[in-house]
Amino acid sequence: MLSVVADVGGTNIRLAVCDVETGGLSKLNEFACAEFTTLEAALVQYFAVLQEEVKHLCIGIACPVESDHVVMTNLSWDFSKQALKDKLKLESLYVINDYTAISLAVPFLSSVEKIQVGGGECKTDAVTAVFGPGTGLGVSHIVKAAGKWVSLEGEGGHVSFTANTREQADILFLLQAQFGHVSAERILSGQGLVNLYQSLCTLSKREAKFDQPKDVSKAALDGSCDIARRSLDVFCQVMGSFAGNLALNLACTGGVYIAGGIVPRFADLFQSSEFRGFFEEKGRFKAYLSSIPTFLITHDNPGLLGASVYLRQELESIK
């Protein structure tokens, strides 16, 4: 009998078979969510190519998961946990927030699966924050309790965006006129990068050429558009302030980790950006934050790794 883990985002779904003894992952596959009308259809297609029957499944998914009825935030998928378990004939089904999964991967990352950007040493077993811009903005914290890592779930990506420069304030006013409430996710996400770029075009009285995140980032990195480049600069500023807020909220002396599909694409620019300066710039607590390390996660599939950690812990507890 097989155990499978899945990482479901707003754009892609990744799946793997999990060895519950070692935590090893095999038979990795990735699909575009747009290829399927339901999550069940994607799972059925993956299960069909496996040689054995699947009995245990853990899904990390980009939305709240408190009730039986799960509705994705940035994708038109919804499902009943119980109905999905019955349909797939599973012995156990665990559905967790995607950043619960990603956060649980953090203690198991090797030194080559992360890049440190500033700060000192992590305190052993201390509270750690994890967030990541992608299709949305995921946030979680982890703590050590009763000998195992426990993820503290939340919807921190939807807290209000706070401007820390005049330029950011001008952007905020434009986005308020467009959206009303402006969450951190309206900036720190794929669409958020587009929002930044288009706002800066408006402020510069220039016509916006791009409406896709990949086009903004490409133009920024190849030097073909100065406003696209400025958009990435402001993106890193806002990300630094947001990360510093997370560190202060729960005294995250275990470090702050950045995941998600966006930042690794411009890792060199990120490391030389104003991210760390804005992270530390918290007035009287600057010295406190200067000692807290920040990291960029470079592991290919932290969501799958963390889902395997969660699944193994749960199966061990019911033995």
Q: What are phi and psi of 20, to 5 degrees?
A: -70, -10
Alpha-carbon distances, residue 301 vs 7, 8, 28, 259, 288 (angstroms) = 8, 11, 10, 10, 32
- What is the mean pLDDT for each group of 10 consecutive residues in the chain (319 residues)? 93 94 93 96 96 95 92 91 97 94 94 96 94 91 88 90 97 98 97 98 97 96 97 98 97 96 94 98 97 96 95 83
pLDDT of residue 146: 83
pLDDT of residue 11: 86
pLDDT of residue 302: 94
pLDDT of residue 8: 95
Q: Considering the domain delimited by 110-298, tell me its CATH architecture.
A: 3-Layer(aba) Sandwich (3.40)
Alpha-carbon distances, residue 240 vs 21, 118, 201, 314 (angstroms) = 38, 12, 23, 35
Assign domain 2-98+301-317 to its CATH superfamily: ATPase, nucleotide binding domain (3.30.420.40)
- The ranges of the chain annotated as CATH 3.30.420.40 are 2-98+301-317
pLDDT of residue 317: 75
How far apart, in whole angstroms, are the C-alpha atoms of residue 315 and residue 312?
A: 5
How far apart, in whole angstroms, are the C-alpha atoms of residue 251 and residue 282?
A: 14
pLDDT of residue 241: 98
Taking only the tens place, the pLDDT of each residue in 6-39 is: 999 888 999 999 999 888 999 999 999 999 999 9
- The ranges of the chain annotated as CATH 3.40.367.20 are 110-298
How far apart, in whole angstroms, are the C-alpha atoms of residue 104 and residue 142?
A: 7
pTM above 0.75, yes or no: yes
pLDDT of residue 319: 63
